[in-house]
Amino acid sequence: MPLIPQPPPPAGGALLTRLHAINAEHGYLPEEELRRAAEELGVPLSQVYSAATFYAAFSFQPRGRHTIHVCLGTACYIRGGEKLLEKLESTLGVRPGETTDDGTFTVETVHCVGSCSMSPVMRVDGDTYGRLKADILPRLLRRYQTEAGGMSDEGT
Ligand code: FES
């Protein structure tokens, strides 16, 4: 029996469910929402942060309306994935993990999205673009800046 009473753990993944709900509402995990979740679930704030940092799906920074994933897996790297990333960095003025000042794009890198035959590959939200050339990226990005979205397999 512990000498200091401990709060019961949140039942049935209630903490994870709450984190997903916060993330869905804000696009990231604002500190004030994490404090409120800890208080309402009756768990230490450190436990909330521990769970939030464990899952890569959660972010503590505001994210862009669109998330760009540039693949730097072996097949994509060999076929120009790094050039795509360099073009994105120079065009958008951000590095991997950052969000553009206007809140439109968050750029991240990944290591293989399972579309190696289409390398180099980039994903924007749920759209996959394969056999990409760096020089068409500005045109592709403009589609998302105007919220028109895109089509798969661009550049083929
Ligand atoms: S290495 Fe890029 S999709 Fe596989």
Domain ranges of the chain: 11-54, 66-145
Q: How many A from CA of 115 to the centre of ligand 1? A: 5
Instruction: Determine contact, residues 97/67, Cβ cutoff 8 Å.
Output: no
Q: What is the pLDDT of residues 114-155, one digit of tens each?
A: 999 999 999 999 899 999 999 999 999 999 988 644 444 444
CATH of 66-145, one of 3.40.50.300, 3.20.20.70, 3.40.30.10, 1.10.1200.10: 3.40.30.10
Per the DSSP assignment, residues forming a β-bridge with 107 are 68
Task: Please give the model's pTM, rounded to 2 decimal places.
Answer: 0.71
H or E element that contains 38: helix 31-41
Q: What is the pLDDT of residues 67-84, one digit of tens each?
A: 999 999 999 999 999 999
> Which of 69, 84, 112 has most ligand 1 atoms within 8 Å of CB, for mutation?
112
